[in-house]
Amino acid sequence: MALNDSTPTPERISNDRTIVRLPMLLGLTLAGGVLIGASFFGGTKGLNSIGRGYTKYKEILQLIENNYVDSVNTDDLVDFSITKMLEKLDPHTAYLNPTDAVAARSQLEGGFDGIGVEFNIFADTVYVVTPLAGGPSETAGIRSGDKILKVDDTSLTSKGVDNSAVYKAMRGKRGTEVRLTVLSKGQKPRVVTVTRDRIPTYAVDAAYMTDAQTGYLKVNRFSDSAYEELRNALAGLKQQGMKQLVLDLRNNPGGYLDRATNMADEFIDGNKLLVYTDGKDDRYDRKYFAKLNGQFEDGALIVLIDEGSASASEILAGALQDHDRGYIVGRRSFGKGLVQMPVQLSDGSELRLTISRYYTPTGRSIQKPYVPGQEGDYEKELELRSKRGEYYVADSIKNDPKNVFKTDKGRTVYGGGGITPDYFVPRDSSWQTAYLGQLYAKNIIREYALSYANDNRARLEKMPFAEFDKAVNLTDEQLSTMNKAATAEGVKFNAAEFARSKNYIRTQTKALIARYVYQKANKGGQNNEFYRVMNTADNTYVKALTLFDKAQELEFGPKAVGKK
């Protein structure tokens, strides 16, 4: 029986679609991966050899349950022992308890059941950033800026309330009702009954034209709906006259393998090899080829990657690079070349077991080195890149000379540690300060942007974005008001650090205001206006727009440079 690549499979992802993450948070991609669906493991190979170990383990659990001096939760012991056992394998084989398995699955299955609000916690209070357009909360009359004081009998105003507590209170089976105690500005608290429903999640963050011929498309994960979203986005951009494209895969930790290959097929012509997998058991060996007439098989293509681009992102970038179809710009990718098969266990928990390695068309494994049982060293690898200057100096990238491969047109590429970009762009850390970090921690920027958007909504919603872009620019006086709000929340003002971060804070705030104003007008969960503003301060994006001559030369040859 063959593997069913379309079987929904989970992956833990942490992705804030609006706030630019600080550098070392990229370690979250460790939880990501390439997933291949299956509903079974066949055969009984090795059962006799593990029988003695199983008997011993069962005996120990029974002895603890019956004789240990204190009461213990044997389920917790089992979960702990499984987790420790898997640490002796590769860094990506993992065990998820039932709660984590459901949460992880919702990130890739296109949605979850809930009330349909984006919230923000500010000063120990839960604020509605925006209700999902057409969702259950908007239907019930909840608006941006409302405070949610209680969910049923659970208070959300206690000190230390966090995201997990809010998720637990708000999410639940679709069709069930939940009573929210809501406080709107200038009114008394009221109780609103909301019927939970399916809340969609999206893979394409943005798809817009930067000029008359250049499109920009950002993919945040390879989820269940990613391929369909990409196709729709490409079609829309082509209708607007797109001739060349920037495909942004930065901070994309992966997802379904077949979504990655289907998306590669949209850019690569003929029946070229896209990726292949190889494992101990040949049942899991597969070759994936291009087979469709893709929507953008011709035209200059630039692909943005960084150290947060992992697994499925690397499959797509690797296929485009090996076939000389895309010009890769940014920094070296994460380096995750293992494929997991998720198996749901009887209690709803899940085992994600590494069953094979994947290889790019040239035969590259991009898996970075690891030592089984030393996961801590593996997790520190991104930090080590920073210490040796790799994020800032191209020559600091240390490729293994034994892992040299040639692309279709004879260019040199490397395996054994991620995708090395064709053009390196250093990380811009000039604006990153401790003061900015404290503003993020206290949600000062988001809160100011939300208040500004709500106070000026009637005027701003009438503006086309081009007019908004010219009209809305935060003054020094407005930034001073934000700093005073931060001081009131316990953030000590630092003039020197604020000066370094000032322009970035101004851009970030304007981008968030644009998002809150225009989000309802966008379809498919895209935040085009946010990225239109934010990308102006993104040095990798800005540089990429100047490199289409190199992308054209890669695609069409030197004689084609300058032609459109």
* Residues labelled as active-site residues: 311, 322, 336
Q: CB–CB of 359/365 below 8 Å?
A: yes
Query: Count of CB atoms within 10 A of residue 440's CB?
Result: 15
347: which DSSP letter?
A: T
164: which DSSP letter?
A: H
The answer for 237, left when phi > 0, alpha when psi is -120 to 50, beta otherwise, is alpha
Structure token digits, residue 445: 């920027």
Q: CB–CB of 327/551 below 8 Å?
A: yes
Nearest to 131, CA basis, from 144, 113, 147: 144
Q: CB–CB of 114/171 below 8 Å?
A: yes
128: which DSSP letter?
A: E
Q: CB–CB of 414/364 below 8 Å?
A: yes
Q: CB–CB of 128/143 below 8 Å?
A: yes
- Which residue has tokens 């509903």? 39
Query: What is the C-alpha to C-alpha distance for residues 259 and 445, in angstroms, rounded to an integer?
Result: 35
Query: What is the C-alpha to C-alpha distance for residues 463 and 452, in angstroms, rounded to an integer?
Result: 15
Nearest to 125, CA basis, from 152, 151, 160: 160
Q: CB–CB of 295/346 below 8 Å?
A: no
- Maximum Cα–Cα distance for the chain, whole Å? 81
Beta strand pairing call for 117-122 and 111-114: unpaired
Q: CB–CB of 305/249 below 8 Å?
A: yes
Query: What is the C-alpha to C-alpha distance for residues 509 and 551, in angstroms, rounded to an integer?
Result: 33
